[in-house]
Every structure is written in C-alpha cells, then in structure tokens.
Structure 1
Amino acid sequence: MSNRGLTFSFQANDTFRAGTRYRYIVDNKLSEVIIIPDENGKYKLSKKGANAKPLVDLRNEEIKSVMSMARYMEVEILNDKIIVHIVKANINTDTLSEYELTDLIEKSDKITFSIDKFQLERDYSALSEMLTASGLFSAKTRSDISYVFDTVSLFSGAGLLDYPFKKDDSFDLKFAVDFDKAACETYKNNIGDHILCMDIRDLDEKDVPETELIIGGPCCQGYSNANRAGNTEQNVFKRLLVDDYIRIVKAKKPLMFVIENVRQFITKENGKYLDKVFSELSSDYNITYSVVNDVEVGGYSKRERMVLIGSCKAMGKVIIPNVELARHKTVGNALKKVTSDWFNYNDITKASEETKKKMVQVRPGHNYKDIAEMTHLDRHSNVYRRLSADEPSVTITNWRKVNLMPPVGNRILSVSEAAAIMGLDKNFKFFGSINDRQQQVGNGVTQAIASFVKSIVKNALYGYANSLLMPQTAIT
C-alpha cells in the first residue's frame, strides 16, 4: 500500500534492457499496469547498480493512485510486454506459515528495493518508509498509539549501536555495560550515564533491570579475519563472551534481542558460536540472522555486519529484508560534512617523513601496490589504501594500523573523517587517548546498519504491542 509509486528491477532481456523506452497502460478492471516497449515512449528504463539492471521507476499521480491500493504486486515479464498485477486482498500474513506465505505470493521473503540516494542522504527514516510501504513492517502499526520499550545494552562499546535507539522516543535505554573505560566515557557523553564500566563476566543478572529489548555485540575481535592468528588463548576467551550475552537474555526474558557482529560470527569454528545462540535460545525465541552491507542500507562504506534477531514465540518470526539500493553513497558524500567544528577534527596520528614518501605514491582507490618498494609484498588490501571520493569506503577498522588515507592528503584519516564515514554527525564526540578514539570508531557499527536494525525492531515491537491491545478482528 505504497504512495511512493511503482519501482522494481529485473534481469535484462532482448526487449527490456536499461536505456530502452516504453509506455504503459492502466487496466483498472483487471488491476494491472501493462508496460509496452515503444521507441517513442515517454518513459525510459533506468540503470540499477553495477550490473545495470533495467529499473522501472514510475512516480506520477496516476501510478501512485493505483499502487496505493496494492497489498502486493506480481511482475510478469513477457516477450512483448511487462504486466504488473496489483493484488488488493487484505491478507493478515502474521497468521501464515512461511510455506503458506511463499505459496500465496509466489516469491521468497527476500525482497530487493530501490530508493533515491538523495532522499537517504537527507534522512535515514526514508529507509523505514520504504520498508513500511513494501509491506515488510507490521500492518498493525497505528500512528495514534505510542509506546516506549525499555532497552538494555550489553557489550555497548562507545554506543554506536545504541545511538539511533537513544534518539528515538520509542526506546528508553535503562542499562548498558562495557569493560573499556575510554569507551564508557564516550558512551556517557553521547548516550547517557546509565552505563556500568565492568567485565560482563562479573555482572550479576539480578543487577540488570527488567526489559523488553536487549541489544549488543559480544566482543568481535576474536571472530574477525583481520586478526589472522585468531587462535590465541585471549581470542578464544573473547569468543566465549557470547555465553554471557545468552546468560542475560535467559535471565531477563525480553520480548526481543539483537546481536550484531562481524560476519565471521556465523562461520567461525564451523559455526560453533552461532550454534550456541540457537541451542540455548531457540526454544523460547524465533531466531533469524543475515549479513547486512552498510552501503546497501544507505551508508558510506562496504562494511558488513551479521545481524541476528530473536523474537519471542508469541511475536512470530521477524524478517530481515535483503535490501539493495539502486545508488550508493560515497566517501566524498561523507567527508563533505566534516568541518573544523567537529570535536575530533584534529585527532590525526602524524605520519613519519618516510611514511609520507610512500603515501604520495598511492592513487585514489589504490593501495600499497602503488609504492615502488612494496609492490612485490603480500599485504592486506587496505594497507596504504587511499580512499576514492567517488566510491564507498572500505571497512573502517583501526585505520592507523594500515595507514588508511583520505582521497586528498598524505596523512591518515582523522577521527572525525572516519566517524563521518561510519555515518555519525558532528554531535557525536569520542573520548580517551587518540588510539582509544580510533579503536572505538573501528569497533563500532555504522549508523545506517544501526538505524536499519532499529527500524525493524521498532515495527516488530509496535505490531506485537498493538496485537495485544486490539482484538484480532479489528486489525487490518
């Protein structure tokens, strides 16, 4: 039931490919939009993504009127025309099994979207609007009812996952915990003083308040391929911290919980740590997980994070949609926001003269292979990487260790520049030593991914709360 118009993409064929023109016919009796190739047609198929998929993007009032009645649409691509079938039936999908739903709409629940880049640049909420219009958010959300959900944060770090929740009045962050003193100072200055600075292994679950939602990212360095050894006693010890996250969830029994981590969380040691979550919590929760790419949900980097969501059995399974944006933001889009009034503007590790001589040889979008004396070496691809203003950034870790550079200048990124690429604004301030500040940025989740997660969680909780408040027969 979208008032945004009609947008979809598909694999090209001989008749319908990016650049070709078309016209359309609306058949109101059959509830169909018929797209016909016409070299003199008013409309032209756009290009979507690197593979230049043909993209239909109709936003005039006639199409908006038709799509406002659609509960679903089915796209049939024939040799000489494309037919968009408008399905108006008001179906409560919450009562259907996955197999019934798949049979009903003849497609999986993985859906690809397109949304205008410039709208996303203005407001992350555009992503939430897109998902709502696409039917993936609960149809039971009512704008005239507001809720506030108590929230607990574990392994909170500097608060980058918590930040979108803090800015949303629907969530009340009651409690947070992390062992890193500098990160806790950053958290207090940006999120609130409800964070407890301690080792979570010593945390008694009785000291954690009752809550509807638990979010967090158990210490991730041990999982990441960035730490190639990965088998030291310390790293194995870090990986086992997921047990404490599970311990708190089992004790507090929230309606939902969220774990975000590097994608290797899924596969490390043959999935041992993912299996821990399922074996300990799946009896009480529906659990789903997916790998989310920052640039695909409106961010500035190619950073990938594993997102796992557990929802109590009464809520049903929460879908994590597979979002793919038609246009991507770039490093240039992020860095143009950074001005001298940013708190961490001057936080830059100074390079030695020898390092500067190497930096000057590297072209935008290239790395150490541009440096004459390093060409023959085998190093991580981000070593001496100079970002390109016209492309998304590589994953931001602790960039000082690899000498990650901005598009212009023979130096590494400042803390403010890295924070901007992570999607933060100038109001977010990092504290501690310069190394602490760099590490806090590198350890965090991007704001696009955090906002994406928050939107999914919020709508699932609203849908469930409304279902308890309203008789089932009154829900449309």
Structure 2
Amino acid sequence: MKTLKKSLRGLTFSLEKDTVEIGSHFNYYINTTSRDIIISPDKNGKGTVSRKKCGKTYKPLYDIRSKEVRELCQAADYMQVEVLENKIVVHTFKKQRHIIQRNHIVSIEELVGRKTGEIVICKAAGAEWDFGRPTLANDEYFESLCRTVPSYYKKSIKQKKNEIKAIYNVASLFSGAGLLDYSFMDPQFKFVYAVDFDPDACDTYRENIGDHIVCQDIRTVDSETIPNTDLIIGGPCCQGYSNANRRDIDKETAAKKRLLIDDYIRIVKDKKPKVFVIENVPQFYTKEHGLYINKVLENLSEYEITCNTVTDCSVGGYTSRKRAIVIGSRIGKIELPDAKFATVKTVHDALKDVDATWFNYADVSAPRKETEAAMSYVKPGGNWKDIPPEIHPFGADTHSDRFRRLSWNEVAPTIVNWRKICMMPPEGNRILNVSEAAALMGLDKKFKILGKTLNSKQQQIGNGVTQAIGKFIKKYVLDALNYNTQNIVSV
C-alpha cells in the first residue's frame, strides 16, 4: 500500500508500468454524501492516464485536479493508495488532535488517523472489467457503498438496492442535433451510441450531449458496432413524408429518404432492445397507403406496437407541431394517454427570457429591402395575405405559414426552416433568430447550436422534435422500463 502526502493541488500518483495503459481514458462520478469519487473506464472520458518518466521508462500517472477532488485531498492529512484486482482505492485519513492518556485503551483509528473518505479508481478503458455506473445487478457497487457510506451499515441489501434506480442503455438513430436525445437525458438513461450523417449536427450533438455520436450514413452502419441497448430512439428523415416539403415529395430523392425506415427496422431487429421509439410527421402513417408504417408493423411483429399523434402545445409545448409517435415494446404495451394541458403556453412564454446572452441570438438572416418592406405590412398572427399584391405577389396555393408573424398571446405554428418561409417574431421586420426558434422548440439557454453556416443552424432546429413531446414520450417509456424491473417508477 502506497502512502501519499497531503496535497493542495489535488490527487497525483503513479503506478507500476503495465498496471494500466498510458493514454487510456476514464470518467469519474462524485458522491457528495459519502465523499467518494468513482472513476470508471470510458473511451470518451475526459480524464486521461498520463505518464511519469522513471529512468528510461514511463509509469502511468493519475493527475486529477478538479475542485471537488482538491477539497477532499486538502481535508486529509495523508492518503493511502490500495491497488486491487479491479480498481484502485485511495483512502484519505485525518490525524487525531488529542492527547492519549495513560491506561487508556485506544483504537487503531485513534493512533493512525480517522478515515475521511475514499477515491475509487476503476481500471482504465480497455480493461475487461468495467465498474461503470451503478445498476441493480452490480453487487460490488453495493458492497463498496456499504463500506464507504456509514448510513448504509444498518440497511438490508434489498433496501439498499431499492434506493438505486436502474440504468438503461440508449442508442439513438437519425440523431440530428440531438433534440430528441436532449429531452431523454435522465440519470436513468445512459446514451451509448448515436449516429447521423450531418457533420454540423454531430458537432452540435457533441457540444450538448456527448462524444458517443458517430458521423456516418446509417445505411453503412454495421449493427455489430452498436453496443447492446435497452432502448432505441430516433426519427427517420421526415422530409420524404412531410407536406411542408410538398414541392419535392414525389421526387426520387424523397423516395430514397422514405426508404431509410428500412435501416431503422434492420438495426432494431439486430439489437433487439426492450423498447423502440420512432418519431416522425403524421404523414408517416398514410404515405403510399400506409406502406411505411406497415413495414414497421410487419417486420417488428414480435413487439407490441402502439401509434399515437401528439401535439406539442397539448403536452406543455409552445407550438402546434404534431408528431407521429410509434412505440414498440417487448415488456408490455406502452400507450401514450390523450393529453391536453389546461393552460396553453404561448409565444410570450417561450420568448420572454430570450436575449443577447443566448449563444445563438446573433444568428439571424438579414432580409433584403423588398422583403423587409413586405414584412412591415404583416400584423401579429397574420401572414402573406396581409401584404398588398403589388408589393409581393403570391399564388392562391401559397402555404399559410409564408410571411407568418407570430403573436405574443398565441401558440406558434410548427417550426420548420423558418428562413425559407420568412417566419417573424411578434415585433420587428426580420425573421426569427436561431435562439428564438430554439426557445419555441422548448430548448433552454444552455443548448448551443453549432454549424459552419447559418442555414445549417436553422435547418438543425427545423428538423428536430420539441422538448415537450420528447419529455412526454420519455416519461411513459421510463415508467414502463422501471415497472418491468420492479424499480421505482419515475415521477
């Protein structure tokens, strides 16, 4: 056992060479109650095992200097590193500051020091044993918890296990910028895989959700490269079905996009998750006389499948956007209830806090002079019909969302690529900026949309699902998974 001196800089220690691989990655989780830091192998982890030169060779070096680790190390008088088969435990001790009187029987802790906490480091990425995040089946986690958390001593193993919720692996297909995945982020969901072909969308995904996304055409994805998963979610390209794309709907490119549902089905059949979720436009049910929904029903017949249409503003969102939601389950039918919020949220509710401090606030297309002049005629809640024909002529079949000006006290229409239709905020002769559109989709200030072009950023938002719809689906899927494992149902 190796003893370390108190350190004000954090935790730094080396191991014998070949103990772990130099350059491998890890992540750590902090339990503020037990004062433990559990570091798990993770090929995408932020921590990296560095190296320390010893003569002509190098030893693996752990150097962790986060604020929380520094505080734990500063509170200790010394530390001891215990290298076990499956993990490294750094015990922290504080010496006692009292005088031992004659004839007084003392404990080892009084002579040596009082244990103040543990830092648990698991084997680096690439090792066969993965301590990972706690699950109901991980008995070693509970044994460790019993040793390190005093309040757990008197509880039965059954009680302890019931206090920890199960962790479900999630794979995301057609992930885009991650709007559906963002709504599914939860301590019980661990995203292990995501894929999309758009490099800009993948950059946005990595910025807000994680590095597990792969930038690749899904038609070339080998199912064997996807980790085993409890849940698969995704929205196969909707442009091949949507009425908003009516000019191109019958072209060959649209037909190819509709066939991407075959790859979603292929991967679900190969991975056999407990549950899968498909979100798309409502026309997914009816296009070509139901050809595509029937593919799902026929090819995934081992699942109990339910189909619902969910409206954003009916489940707490700010828009009238409707999505077709298909849920397949091998753990019992999952049905989404008909829902309608008593108080409908408005454009004002979505935009009241959006200001220049939002990351994408300055991302806005400047209108041409003639377009700006046309915008000036449109009243809140109005559209192209408010514009005199001599200013900007439109045909009778023009979509009602063209030159649509939002109204503060109404629900917003569906947010597509608003630049193409000139969707305007309630005030000002300009189109929505990217932050305003993101807020209408239910995204928060923390979400950052990246991209090489402004059009790319706008399209990423227009392609996504609203947060209210995503969270609505997540609740009932998570409840079903928890019920299946006889775990604590989410609230």
Give the TM-score taking structure 2 as reference length. Answer: 0.65
Match for residue 312 of structure 2 among 275, 286, 294? 294
In the TM superposition, what are the counterparts of 1:47-126 in structure 2 within 5 Å?
A: none
CA displacement, residues 166-212 of structure 1 (integer Å, 9 cap, x when unaligned): 2x100000000000010000000001010000000000111011000
Match for residue 438 of structure 1 among 458, 461, 477? 458
Report deviation, 1:324: 1.1
Q: SS at 1:466's partner residue?
A: coil
Q: SS at 2:179's partner residue?
A: coil
Structure 2 contact 378–403 (Cα < 8 Å) conserved: yes
> In 1, distance between residues paired with 2:462 and 2:219?
24
Letter in 1 for 2:431: I
Q: Which residue of 1 aligns with 2:269?
A: 250
Structure 2 contact 308–325 (Cα < 8 Å) conserved: yes
Q: Which residue of 2 aligns with 1:451?
A: 471
Match for residue 278 of structure 2 among 259, 272, 275? 259
Letter in 2 for 1:216: G
> In 2, distance between residues paired with 1:208 and 1:424?
28
> In 1, distance between residues paired with 2:193 and 2:299?
23
Q: SS at 1:226's partner residue?
A: helix
Q: Which residue of 2 aligns with 1:336?
A: 352
- Structure 1's unaligned 5+ residue stretches are 1-141, 470-476
Task: Decide whether aligned partners of structure 1 residues 233 and 466 sit closer, same or farther in structure 2, where only a CA change above 3 A counts.
Answer: same
User: How many residues get paired?
Assistant: 323
Report deviation, 1:164: 2.2
Match for residue 158 of structure 1 among 162, 165, 177? 177
Structure 1 contact 156–216 (Cα < 8 Å) conserved: yes
Structure 1 contact 369–375 (Cα < 8 Å) conserved: no
Report deviation, 1:145: 4.4
Structure 1 contact 337–420 (Cα < 8 Å) conserved: no
CA displacement, residues 283-323 of structure 1 (integer Å, 9 cap, x when unaligned): x10000100000000000000001110000xx221111110
Structure 2 contact 384–394 (Cα < 8 Å) conserved: no
CA RMSD of aligned residues (A): 1.4
Q: SS at 1:274's partner residue?
A: helix
> In 2, distance between residues paired with 1:146 and 1:173?
16
> In 2, distance between residues paired with 1:265 and 1:143?
41
Structure 1 contact 259–307 (Cα < 8 Å) conserved: yes
Structure 2 contact 203–450 (Cα < 8 Å) conserved: yes
State whether structure 2 residue 353 is matched by structure 1 residue 307: no
> In 1, distance between residues paired with 2:393 and 2:364?
27
Q: Which residue of 1 aligns with 2:437?
A: 418
Letter in 2 for 1:435: N
> In 2, distance between residues paired with 1:164 and 1:332?
22
Q: Which residue of 2 aligns with 1:280?
A: 299
- Structure 2's unaligned 5+ residue stretches are 1-160
Letter in 2 for 1:448: A
State whether structure 2 residue 447 is matched by structure 1 residue 428: yes
List, as ranges, runs of 4+ consecutive aligned residues in structure 1 with deviation greater than 6 Å.
Answer: none
Structure 2 contact 313–345 (Cα < 8 Å) conserved: yes
Letter in 2 for 1:192: G
Give the TM-score taking structure 1 as reference length. Answer: 0.67
> In 2, distance between residues paired with 1:143 and 1:382?
51
**Structure having greater relative contact order (Cα 8 Å, sep ≥ 6):** 1
Report deviation, 1:144: 3.5
When Rg is computed on C-alpha atoms for both structures, the one with the higher figure is: 2
Identity over aligned pairs, percent: 55
State whether structure 2 residue 235 is matched by structure 1 residue 224: no
Q: Which residue of 2 aligns with 1:200?
A: 218
> In 2, distance between residues paired with 1:375 and 1:388?
23
Structure 1 contact 212–256 (Cα < 8 Å) conserved: yes
Q: Which residue of 2 aligns with 1:381?
A: 400
